[in-house]
Amino acid sequence: MEKKVLYINACARSESRTDRIARALLERLGGLQEEVKLAEMDLQPLSEERLNRRTWLIEEADYTDAMFDLARQFQQADEIVIAAPYWDLSFPAILKLYLENIYVTGLVSEYTETGRPHGLCLAGKLWYVTTAGGPYLPDFSYQYLHTLAAEYFGIPETELICAEMLDVEGFDADNLVAQQIGQIQKRKLL
């Protein structure tokens, strides 16, 4: 069976360089691909009403509700690619909204009797693709996703792909992006 590759696209700009690099990676990964383009979705924050409804559904162990569609899709993917530009030391808020929506206890994660999280996701690997205007500090973006994936979602491997210094005078952004794409194209990933 072909592997299911989920592309979570948190890029805002139509000329996004992060998206361009991610698409080069997706081409190498192959498989059956599904894209979630966050900018085109009507993701809602967890208001009190939504939280209550969600808690009630989780208590009933009823995960068939449409409010869990994205979480089910995330849980079932074999490989996950997140593309998110480096914004304010982190990533666009829309990606946090997505994470809040998919982090459904009982679907992507559960807690053991000792209170430790145990991941329920099927994916073997999560890729995090980003580009930064200046120097990239992974602490509040890749590092966060890495911890979530490893400790809470049960995704054993994560990898960062990053092109940085793209908006700094004297740095050739097109060339830096092309270099990153060239490196991806040389890798044996299929």
Ligand X SMILES: Cc1cc2nc3c(=O)[nH]c(=O)nc-3n(C[C@H](O)[C@H](O)[C@H](O)COP(=O)(O)O)c2cc1C
Tokens of 60: 């009933």
Instruction: List the end-to-end C-alpha distance of the chain, in Å, as a whole number.
Output: 14
Q: Which is nearer to ligand X, 23 or 123 (CB)?
A: 23
Q: Which is nearer to ligand X, 157 or 167 (CB)?
A: 167
Footprint of ligand X (CB under 6 A): 11, 13, 16-19, 85-89, 131-134, 166-167
Least distance (Å) between residue 46 CB and ligand X: 23
Position closest to ligand X via CB: 133
Query: Quick check: 162 and 130 in contact, CB under 8 A?
Result: yes
Closer residue to ligand X in complex, CB, 23/146 = 23
Sign of the torsion angle spanned by Cα atoms 115, 154, 100, 66: negative
At closest approach, how far in Å is the CB of 170 from ligand X? 15
Shorter beta-carbon distance to ligand X: residue 32 or 168: 168
- CB 87, min distance to ligand X, A: 4
Query: Minimum distance between the CB of residue 84 and ligand X, rounded to whole angstroms?
Result: 8
DSSP-derived secondary structure for 68-132: GHHHHHHHH-SEEEEE---BTTB--HHHHHHHHHH--BTTTEEE-TTS-EEE----SEEEEEEE-
Provide the residue count of the chain: 190
